[in-house]
Chain A
Amino acid sequence: MKRLFITALSFLFASAVFAQEIEDHDNMLMDHGGGHLMDMGGGMVMGQNLDTLPGGCDKIAATKEITVHAGHKYAKKFPGRMFAFDVQEYQFEPCTKLTVHFINEDHVRHQWMMHGLPGYLYPKGMFHLEVTGPGKVSGTLILPPGDKTYLVHCDLAQHMEKGMKGQLKVGKGSGDLPSIPGVTEFVVQDDYSGAIPEKLSYNQPSKSSSAKEAAAKKQPASGDSFISGVMVVGLAVGLLVAPFLAKKFKGMTAAEVAAYVFELIKETINFTVQLVNSLIKKLSSGKAS
């Protein structure tokens, strides 16, 4: 509330600055009855209610005014959002008479639309302010009784999804709505894996270090392929053979070891070739008979 109050105050001071560029639609609106006001410049109020008490309200509990700013620039503090209101959360006593001054600072349409109000008072259960910016439009409603959280948003395609969303709690509210910038998380989360930019460097080939990093990152991810069958076999063979080699090479120089290894490889190849030859001979003779 304090924050809202400050916002309202700051608006009072700033209004002189805005007055130059922000078109005030409040005096242009024509009343079309049923709480519907509209002008030819795209300003619109729907569900205006100045004096009818909602059922369950004995009297107007309080009279409040808020100023809501809307626009692309208010999304700056929320990375990954494109449009936003300046304030995301409001809280009021039940049966408050609330006037909303909606200031759209973009050069396109925005809305401050509230859903879920009692349908007998508010057509389609909505209170709705709409104006093409830079412009201002104001509307008044009387909040219903009871603890409930109401969605306020801009209903232009993707504006709510991309950040222009808030919640208005009457009384204690009835919980939090999802995906309100800075307040609650998405229900359906984005996949940010792989969204780590590579460090670009054209002069110094720092390939090895980046490759190492990549390898280090990859290893835990590829858990199942780490202990592959071939690796296990290699490991077992290595374990079995290592002690023999250790014994054999005791006291040898590096050159001697190398010579010995080459000898061993030569013998192995010879043996395999002979074996294969003899086997083929055996098989072919077997087939012939």
Chain B
Amino acid sequence: MQKYPLLVLLSGFVALMSVTASAAVNLPKTVKIEPDKPEAVCPKGNAEWREATKIEGVEIQESLRCHPDNPAQVAIEVKGTNNVSMDTLMDTYYAADAITKTNDMDGDGDPDHIIIKLEVTELNGHSPDFNGVVPTFDIAPGIEPGMWVFAPKSRGMATRSFVGLEANPLLRMPSPPIRVEQGDVVWIVLENTHYFPHTIHLHGVDHPWIDSSGEGNDGVPQTSDKFVLPGQSKTYEIRPRQPGTFVYHCHVQTHVHLAMGLVGMFIVEENRPNNWVQTFNVGGGQVRHPSKAVLEEYDSEYDLHYHAMDKELHNIIQKYNDPRLIARDMNRRYDMTDSTEDYHVLNGRSFPYTLRESIIVAEPNKKIKTRMFNSSGELLAIHTHGHKGTITHYDGVEHNPDAQVMRDVYDLAPAQRNDIMLSTADDGLHSYGEGIWIFHDHREKGITTDGMNPGGNVSAVVYKKYLSEDGLPKGIGENIMPLFTKAFHARNFPVWQDIDEWNSLGAVDATGFKNPPPAVPLMVKGPMTLAEAKRNQAKSANGGNNSFRNFLVGLMLGIFAYIVVINREKIIALISSKKGEA
């Protein structure tokens, strides 16, 4: 090396030249990101569940969506677990004592004493045995926030089967909409299977403050109720006199317990003869056995439960196994006043999964009843494309029919319910005609999943004409397959990949790329603008300051070194003498 310094220098220079030359003409290349294999948009199976049917004497409406409710499950929800055959019961995950319906007290052909058993289930919780969550419930591909829900009492395993970790179909977000009939004697039995205390508060539902035994019946630990501790149970007694769309939720550490998912819709249906109502509508969405009163005015009915989650809260239960640490973080460390909602779900799922479960299936000239409920922490602004709905009820109370308003944006305060009549009459007002008309939150973060769009609480009113055989909208827009990958939701996939033949908005691959020195403009014409002049001045001033400081530092160091050198003998002597002393 020593022998050929010039050669080394030259070759280095040449190498540098070639790099700068190529960089100067080429920006980094575009690469195509290979996504993970997309899931089926609608996984096959149980196609026969979509048909209208009759099980155990229960009329079950057709449900043309990709994932329809299991008709056997609907039959049980209508008849009660005590009034169906063992075969029907075994076709579901219901416990034998989940819903007990007896005693036609008014002799009108339907049972009036209803016992509903609810358990508390953790979804996507921690495991001390492996790095993963159990049992799983994805709100979107690969998105698994920890959640708590009230769940109908089930039997057997928490998972769908003994292979895999997916939660069984009764264990899901949201806490299920519950339906009872006006005047029913309803016992709601909370069996607290969870590791924290909980209660149930019946928000808006007519209920006495204390029950028949004098115990608290309002669910509020600060005033009426003892905690329902882990492993304990408690029965709430009600006989609601007023119909409407109401709410039930846990009232222990409500700010976080409600946000974690312990909140659901509670609907009191108007009293009618022979009116067997569907006690649970697991997963919300279409009600496959609407009540008599609803069918008098409407053709179909949908429960739309909107919720939102702050991942910082929902990840706490995934961080630890020890319930004491979870309680510490959730009750004392988590500050909800600093929170932001990251996941926006409709009936427990975000787009695109909402397409499988929460579409509204429409036909021309029909009337659809939707019950919208907001359990998120912020105001919602739900907008329907292609339709202007009529708000018939606020918080379960009918709005004066003469003063009812039509809207295409429905604002829902936290905990508020709107009953909305959607008419599909193609008159340019109620409906603009057939199509795939999405409906969604118009706060734009609501249409994202942790800030990634498309996502959030988007779903669609889909006219049958545009519905495929397996219950999916026959869209004529862009390919939605990439949305069914984990890569998309993990932000690894360019949203606009392959929008044209040479992927002009694809991902940049700057491996090994280094920006060349910037080009120098050939000439500057005309006088400098004031702003430019100022910028230049500032630049030089900064430069001057820096070098001045550096110089000072250098000077000081020099002086110091000088003093040291001058006094080196003394110092050495001192040091050595000190050494000697030591």
Chain A residues near B (Cβ < 8 Å): 32, 38-42, 44, 46, 71-72, 79-80, 82-83, 106-109, 113, 115, 124-126, 128, 130, 132-133, 155-159, 161-162, 178-179, 186-192, 195, 240, 243-244, 275-276, 279, 283
Chain B residues with CB under 8 A of A44: 155-156
Given A42-B155, A157-B171, A190-B322, residue A115 in contact with residue B122 (CB < 8 A): no
**When the two chains form their complex, are residues A158 and B122 in contact, meaning their CB atoms are under 8 A apart?**
yes
Report Cα–Cα, A283/B541, bound state, in Å.
13
User: Quick check: is B456 within 8 A (CB to CB) of the other chain?
Assistant: no
Q: List 20 A-B contacts (CB under 8 A).
A: A38-B96, A82-B195, A83-B231, A106-B232, A108-B193, A109-B95, A109-B119, A130-B155, A132-B97, A155-B158, A156-B121, A157-B122, A157-B134, A158-B134, A161-B127, A161-B129, A161-B321, A188-B130, A191-B325, A244-B574
Chain A residues with CB under 8 A of B129: 161, 178-179, 186-188
Report Cα–Cα, A80/B324, bound state, in Å.
6
**When the two chains form their complex, are residues B162 and A124 in contact, meaning their CB atoms are under 8 A apart?**
yes
Report Cα–Cα, A244/B570, bound state, in Å.
9
Report Cα–Cα, A109/B320, bound state, in Å.
24
Given A42-B96, A132-B97, A240-B564, residue A190 in contact with residue B321 (CB < 8 A): yes
Report Cα–Cα, A195/B159, bound state, in Å.
33
Chain B residues near A (Cβ < 8 Å): 81-82, 86, 90, 95-97, 119, 121-123, 125-131, 134-135, 153, 155-159, 161-162, 167, 171, 191-195, 229-233, 319-325, 328, 544, 548, 551-552, 555, 564, 571, 574-575, 578
Report Cα–Cα, A109/B153, bound state, in Å.
9
Report Cα–Cα, A159/B231, bound state, in Å.
10
Given A107-B233, A158-B122, A179-B128, residue A190 in contact with residue B155 (CB < 8 A): no
Q: A157: which of B121, B230, B548 is its contact (CB, 8 Å)?
A: B121
Q: A186: which of B123, B134, B167, B321 is its contact (CB, 8 Å)?
A: B321
Q: A162: which of B82, B96, B195, B551 is its contact (CB, 8 Å)?
A: B195
Q: B158: which of A40, A156, A275, A276 is its contact (CB, 8 Å)?
A: A156
**When the two chains form their complex, are residues A39 and B131 in contact, meaning their CB atoms are under 8 A apart?**
no
Chain A residues with CB under 8 A of B194: 158
Chain A residues with CB under 8 A of B122: 157-158
**From B124, which residue of chain A is reached at the shortest CB distance?**
A157
Q: Which of A42, A80, A189, A191 lies at the interface centre, i.e. has the most chain B CB atoms within 10 A of its CB?
A: A42
Chain A residues with CB under 8 A of B231: 71-72, 83, 106-108, 133
Q: How far, in Å, is A119 (CB) from chain B's closest CB? A: 10
**From B196, which residue of chain A is reached at the shortest CB distance?**
A82
Report Cα–Cα, A283/B328, bound state, in Å.
62
Report Cα–Cα, A276/B556, bound state, in Å.
11
**When the two chains form their complex, are residues B128 and A32 in contact, meaning their CB atoms are under 8 A apart?**
no
Chain B residues with CB under 8 A of A79: 324
Report Cα–Cα, A32/B126, bound state, in Å.
36
Chain A residues with CB under 8 A of B544: 283
**From A71, which residue of chain B is reached at the shortest CB distance?**
B231
**When the two chains form their complex, are residues A126 and B322 in contact, meaning their CB atoms are under 8 A apart?**
no
Q: Which of A106, A195, A244, A275 lies at the interface centre, i.e. has the most chain B CB atoms within 10 A of its CB?
A: A106
Q: A108: which of B131, B159, B161, B233 is its contact (CB, 8 Å)?
A: B233
Report Cα–Cα, A28/B89, bound state, in Å.
17
**When the two chains form their complex, are residues A82 and B191 in contact, meaning their CB atoms are under 8 A apart?**
no
**When the two chains form their complex, are residues A80 and B193 in contact, meaning their CB atoms are under 8 A apart?**
no
**From B167, which residue of chain A is reached at the shortest CB distance?**
A157
**When the two chains form their complex, are residues B193 and A156 in contact, meaning their CB atoms are under 8 A apart?**
yes
Q: A161: which of B126, B167, B325, B328 is its contact (CB, 8 Å)?
A: B126
Chain A residues with CB under 8 A of B320: 190-191
Given A155-B157, A186-B321, A190-B325, residue A109 in contact with residue B193 (CB < 8 A): yes
Report Cα–Cα, A191/B551, bound state, in Å.
50
Report Cα–Cα, A234/B27, bound state, in Å.
49
Q: How far, in Å, is A85 (CB) from chain B's closest CB? A: 13
Chain B residues with CB under 8 A of A240: 564, 571
**From B195, which residue of chain A is reached at the shortest CB distance?**
A82
Q: How far, in Å, is A248 (CB) from chain B's closest CB? A: 12
Chain A residues with CB under 8 A of B319: 191
Chain B residues with CB under 8 A of A72: 229-231
Chain A residues with CB under 8 A of B125: 157-158, 161
Report Cα–Cα, A125/B162, bound state, in Å.
9
**When the two chains form their complex, are residues A126 and B162 in contact, meaning their CB atoms are under 8 A apart?**
yes
**From A116, which residue of chain B is reached at the shortest CB distance?**
B162
Extra contacts, 4 of them, besides A40-B97, A82-B195 (Cβ < 8 A), are A109-B95, A161-B129, A179-B128, A187-B129
**When the two chains form their complex, are residues A128 and B230 in contact, meaning their CB atoms are under 8 A apart?**
no
Q: B135: which of A41, A82, A107, A157 is its contact (CB, 8 Å)?
A: A157
Q: Which 8 A-B pairs have the closest CB atoms?
A: A106-B231, A72-B231, A186-B128, A80-B322, A82-B195, A107-B233, A243-B574, A108-B191
Chain B residues with CB under 8 A of A124: 161-162
Q: How far, in Å, is B133 (CB) from chain A's closest CB? A: 10
**From A185, which residue of chain B is reached at the shortest CB distance?**
B128
Given A158-B122, A187-B129, A187-B130, residue A42 in contact with residue B158 (CB < 8 A): no
**When the two chains form their complex, are residues B156 and A130 in contact, meaning their CB atoms are under 8 A apart?**
yes
Report Cα–Cα, A190/B322, bound state, in Å.
7
Report Cα–Cα, A108/B156, bound state, in Å.
13
Report Cα–Cα, A135/B341, bound state, in Å.
43
Chain B residues with CB under 8 A of A41: 96-97
Q: Which of B129, B231, B551 lies at the interface centre, i.e. has the most chain A CB atoms within 10 A of its CB?
A: B231
**When the two chains form their complex, are residues A82 and B153 in contact, meaning their CB atoms are under 8 A apart?**
no
**When the two chains form their complex, are residues B195 and A158 in contact, meaning their CB atoms are under 8 A apart?**
yes
Chain A residues with CB under 8 A of B159: 155
**When the two chains form their complex, are residues B232 and A108 in contact, meaning their CB atoms are under 8 A apart?**
yes
Q: How far, in Å, is A162 (CB) from chain B's closest CB? A: 5
Report Cα–Cα, A72/B233, bound state, in Å.
13
Report Cα–Cα, A130/B97, bound state, in Å.
13
Chain B residues with CB under 8 A of A161: 125-129, 134, 321
Report Cα–Cα, A265/B450, bound state, in Å.
59
Q: How far, in Å, is B221 (CB) from chain A's closest CB? A: 18
Chain A residues with CB under 8 A of B551: 279
Chain A residues with CB under 8 A of B81: 40
**From B320, which residue of chain A is reached at the shortest CB distance?**
A190
Report Cα–Cα, A40/B194, bound state, in Å.
23
Q: B123: which of A125, A128, A157, A276 is its contact (CB, 8 Å)?
A: A157
Report Cα–Cα, A222/B194, bound state, in Å.
39
Report Cα–Cα, A132/B119, bound state, in Å.
12
Q: Which of B123, B127, B233, B322 lies at the interface centre, i.e. has the most chain A CB atoms within 10 A of its CB?
A: B322
Q: How far, in Å, is A86 (CB) from chain B's closest CB? A: 14
Report Cα–Cα, A18/B292, bound state, in Å.
47
Q: B162: which of A107, A115, A192 is its contact (CB, 8 Å)?
A: A115
**When the two chains form their complex, are residues A195 and B321 in contact, meaning their CB atoms are under 8 A apart?**
no
Chain B residues with CB under 8 A of A186: 128-129, 321
Chain B residues with CB under 8 A of A115: 162
